[in-house]
Structure 1
Amino acid sequence: MMVIFQNKIIYMPSVPPFSRSERVDDYAAQCRPVEWVERDLAAADGTALKLLEGSIVASADSDVAEHVVVVYFQGNASSLPPRLPYLSTILKRLARENQGRRKYTIVALSYRGYWKSKGRASQAGIELDAEAALTWVQDRYDRGQTKIIVWGQSIGAGVASVSLSNLLRNGQDNLRRFSGLILETPFVDLKTMLVALYPQRFLPYRYLTPFLRSTWDTRTALRRVGGSKPNLKVLILEAGNDEIVPPGQAETLEGVCIEEQLEVDRKKVPGALHTEVMVKGQGQNYIVGFLRSS
């Protein structure tokens, strides 16, 4: 039964209850002056998806010398609207601390089966969704002035890494505009997670790994990316009290980045639970510092 219903166990768009009926307007007051706009797009298989595009609209936008667009991939539960106040805090801090003519925008993807996006979640489908989002961003923003940074949290870190790796199918030049990658509370892959969480050989869970349809193999993806774009900057963020991802996962990924000559920095946020890195002030400091320097 666990094999048959594994996607329902891994992907939880309706947790907590009513997540799919969340409204952006209900969080608007907490986000101001950041404005979030809903955008529609379709994956390669025709699945209708939602994006949320957030930025601080300023009259001096015409004077912007450089635009940094961050593509955000969420974790495996809930929906985007409750995350908007925290993402907005990052944008507000960047605007407040911005000493040059830089503009920042965050584009957050709602995977298929999540929030207002159609379809059912699966790794194969979400890979198509991420490809559509990255293509949309590259087509929408000026090629000469825009840098793109990809940011994923938890399973979204796997989405971020794998989606960058997938862009290489059409040539190394497809990574040219990407300057950074943030892996927030990442894991090596789902197979490694199963073994780490259930090391006891008498438990059945570790033996399910050959049957996993979702693997989100961040380690392999980073090796592919490193071989094609070794100057990519990577920030790995650990939660000090992570109750989901076992210790050692982030350190392993850091080692892969070093092997592939990626410019990596690993930081731990003291006291943070798995979903609290972006909530804690220290976590925000690391994210803002990375975005400013990338």
Structure 2
Amino acid sequence: MVSFLKALVYGAGGVVVVGMAALVALQERLVYVPVLPGLARAYPITPARLRLDYEDVFFRSSDGVRLHAWFVKQSPWKPGPTVLFFQENAGNIAHRLEFVQIMMQKLHCNVFMLSYRGYGESDGYPSQHGIIMDAQAALDHLIQRTDIDTSRIVVFGRSLGGAVGAMLARNNPDKVSAIILENTFTSILDMAAIMFPFLKWFIGSNGPKGPKILNYFVRSPWSTIDIIDKIEQPILFLSGLRDELVPPSHMQMLRSKAIENNRDCRFVDFPNGMHMDTWYSGGDRYWRAIQLFLDQYVPEIKECNISCKVGEDKDEAAG
């Protein structure tokens, strides 16, 4: 009996050790999934397929990595906010085109769709440090454009994209007008503890005894919970209560932490919303929540600064 118990303990310990080693060695493949199983890395469609006016944009991150994005544009005579959209961890920006098409119809906005490094036509390999630089490069590109109102740039992030967007908004209080987070996790550490329950004693949010041992080995912690209260811009939280991947409690915790130092927080939940379809199952109420948020915090400017700016550029060129 004693021998059996020893074998059981050693066996359980071996499973934990193997699990720890796999998590440390393969973590980037678990967090970042540029290619969905059975599909190619290439974009299956472009905005042209949906008859959207768009521009292929190539630019470089601060470390020299060549990045790709789609700038999907409204008609010039319909100036609206510009949404800097950060996608989830799996697939590429082409898989979000249906959502973007409806967003443009409902909100009358431009949408800048960044392809993270290692995704789509962007070079490099994904990492937290690298994607943070990619997001900053995308924002810097938008700030330099003369065909948008740079005072009305809104960050929108879903799931992993919410963690990316939160970091960008925190770092750029004077360049980002507002931020929208949908079904975003508190941290990758907490998600790892959920996805690998047998490791929950070794990874996850810091407890009363301090950080858990595996936390030190995670290269992409994306700890949104640690920065959400440092965001100065208005925040809209969109939470699907049937989210099968990120527990809805994560969004509640983010909101609770944010309102400690930010009164301009709005929280809207959707009873039937799952991780990827909250925008669809939420129907008109989903889009109405966003529109009300934008109307309050990113209002339309009566004087068209864009046309004036473009006119000034033309005059300078002619002169």
Q: TM-score, normalized by length of structure 2?
A: 0.76
Structure-2 separation of matches of 1:180 and 1:76: 22
The counterpart of 2:224, out of the listed 208, 218, 241, is 218
- Does the 8 A contact of 2:156 with 2:162 survive in 1? yes
**2:60 aligned partner:** 42
| Change in CA separation of 1:142 and 1:222 when aligned onto 2, cut-off 3 Å | farther
**1:22 aligned partner:** 43
- Does the 8 A contact of 1:16 with 1:78 survive in 2? no
- Does the 8 A contact of 2:183 with 2:248 survive in 1? no
Q: Which amino acid aligns with 2:74?
A: I
The counterpart of 1:190, out of the listed 178, 188, 191, is 188
Q: Which amino acid aligns with 1:194?
A: A
CA positional deviation for 1:214 = 0.5
Q: Which amino acid aligns with 1:287?
A: I
Higher CA-based Rg: 2
Higher RCO (CA 8 Å, separation ≥ 6 residues): 1
| Change in CA separation of 1:131 and 1:145 when aligned onto 2, cut-off 3 Å | closer
Q: TM-score, normalized by length of structure 1?
A: 0.82
Instruction: Name stretches of at least 5 consecutive residues in structure 2 with no aligned partner.
Output: 1-21, 205-212, 299-319
Q: Is 1:75 aligned with 2:76?
A: no
- Does the 8 A contact of 1:234 with 1:262 survive in 2? no
CA positional deviation for 1:35 = 1.7
Structure-2 separation of matches of 1:73 and 1:237: 15
- Does the 8 A contact of 1:241 with 1:271 survive in 2? yes
CA positional deviation for 1:191 = 1.4
Q: Is 1:107 aligned with 2:112?
A: yes
- Does the 8 A contact of 1:69 with 1:146 survive in 2? no
Q: Is 1:290 aligned with 2:293?
A: yes
- Does the 8 A contact of 1:257 with 1:263 survive in 2? no
- Does the 8 A contact of 2:169 with 2:179 survive in 1? no
**1:119 aligned partner:** 124
Q: Which amino acid aligns with 1:127?
A: I
Identity of aligned residues (%): 28
SS of equivalent to 1:164: helix
Structure having the larger proportion of residues in strand: 1
| Change in CA separation of 1:145 and 1:164 when aligned onto 2, cut-off 3 Å | closer
Length, aligned pairs only? 266
Structure-2 separation of matches of 1:141 and 1:84: 24
Question: What is the root-mean-square deviation in Å for CA atoms of aligned residues?
Answer: 2.3
- Does the 8 A contact of 2:193 with 2:199 survive in 1? no
CA positional deviation for 1:267 = 1.2
